[in-house]
Amino acid sequence: MSIKIVLTGGRSPAALELSRLLHAAGHTVIAAESWKRHLCGASKSVAMSCELPPPNQNPRVYAEALRSVIIDSKADVLLPTCEEIYTISKYRDMLIEHCQVFAEPISVLERLHHKGKFIEWAESLGLKVPLTRMAESREELMSLASNRGLFPGGVILKPAYSRSGSKVGVISDAALTPDIEKAVQAAAPISAAYPWVVQARLPGRQLCTYSIAQQGTLVAHTAYWTRYTAGVGSCVHFEHVWEGETFHFVEIFVKATGFTGQIAFDFKEGLDGRLLPIECNPRATSGIHLLAGVPGIDRALVAPSGLQSEGILVPPASGTASMLGAAMLLTGWRGSRTIRQWREWVLDYARARDVLFRWNDPMPAVEQLGVFGRLCVQQWRTGMSLLELTTSDIEWNGEA
């Protein structure tokens, strides 16, 4: 059955992937975005694109404008993708009167988005987590960061509300006091309303998961190692792997919390090789690129009730790979220092699917050049980083 879906966050490649797979399944997609021009707006998969006000400038005005789009388009489902999901979740009761909203209430999402509260929640469910503490002042942050008895292997410092590895500080076990003081001084702002997290440093690789759940039932899942990145935390190459330990973590967490929606976790390897969760993103992430070809994935997103009796969808084949082609070409190679690493990068680039360019829908790949150019101009004017500019109008840092 064909339905109408309002999809927000049209600037992101993940939203573009979602719009294409939903369109291919016969559904009508309406993009609602606070950027005037964006990836989804250039795609043939989108029937109509509507401009909204920035959600974090006046959240209620944003919610009211989104409600008008839902009513005018007679939408059946609202599918948030980026951090505007927190504003949508806050006004969920206003929106759910008119369509299904594929997002949990803000009380749930805030607990998952907050990097300290998420760890506390997972630990309360009996799941293994890295040692984590919260600080509400620089003095408290300094005391925790320099406590080698509590954190013998060093620490990671990061805002409780952050994204894409921004503002993360790494203090190794061998760091000297001046290095620690410098890292702590860089932590700004910090207060009771804007706390920071001090977490035991796990030195191994990072693995990311992306899943779709309905009322505590896991209906789709994938995982990929973070190998090629743009900056600290933005992965640009995604290759599906099966990793049982993290799958069972996600399955247990989703079931115990009765979660409905899209949910992603980041894990790091400890010295013993065990993967422990470090944070959660209760929204769409790049993992959707690996599930795009899975039969029935559209029903997991917009008609999941029929999937509960069928169990989890068949995952993609191991080795299925996607990438942000331009970013992989410009930045993905930077970690390659040996002939073998260069060869691996070339092979990985050659066999991965570019998530933006398609011969039957080429304009989003062209639009990314325009988006990048506009961001560069804004960077010159504001002094903000490109990463910060991509989320500055939608990011949500708690009610305070």
Residues 62 and 143 in one domain: no
The parent domain of residue 11 ranges over: 1-103+362-400
Summarize the confidence of residues 63-90 as an average pLDDT: 96
Question: At which of 165, 200, 235 does a domain end?
Answer: 200
- Residue 165, domain member (yes or no): yes
Give me the residues paired with residue 173 across strands.
none
pTM of the model: 0.93
Residues 243 and 187 in one domain: no
Per-residue model confidence (pLDDT) at position 165: 64
Q: Are 131 and 150 in contact (CB under 8 A)?
A: yes
Question: At which of 200, 216, 239 does a domain end?
Answer: 200
Q: Are 264 and 286 in contact (CB under 8 A)?
A: no
- The single-letter DSSP state of residue 197 is E
Q: What percent of the chain has pLDDT over 70?
A: 95
Number of independent structural domains in the chain: 3
- Residue 373, domain member (yes or no): yes
Residue 400 or residue 331, greater confidence: 331
Tokens standing for residue 143: 């005391």
Residues 84 and 161 in one domain: no
Per-residue model confidence (pLDDT) at position 378: 87
pLDDT in tens, 144-190: 988 888 999 888 999 999 876 667 888 887 776 777 788 877 777 88
Residues 336 and 240 in one domain: yes
- Residue 125, domain member (yes or no): no
CA distance 283 to 48: 23
Kindly report the backbone phi and psi dihedral angles of residue 40, in degrees, each rounded to the nearest multiple of 5, phi listed first. Answer: -65, -35
- The single-letter DSSP state of residue 261 is E
Q: Are 266 and 208 in contact (CB under 8 A)?
A: yes
pLDDT in tens, 230-253: 766 688 999 999 999 999 999 999
Tokens standing for residue 137: 């002042």
Amino acid letter at 94?
M
Cβ within 8 Å of residue 115, ≥6 positions away: 132, 158, 159, 160, 161, 162, 197, 199, 278, 279
- Residue 123, domain member (yes or no): no
> Any idea which residue has 């509260």 for tokens?
117
Residues 188 and 236 in one domain: no
CATH code, domain with 59: 3.40.50.20
Q: What percent of the chain has pLDDT over 90?
A: 62
Residues 265 and 337 in one domain: yes
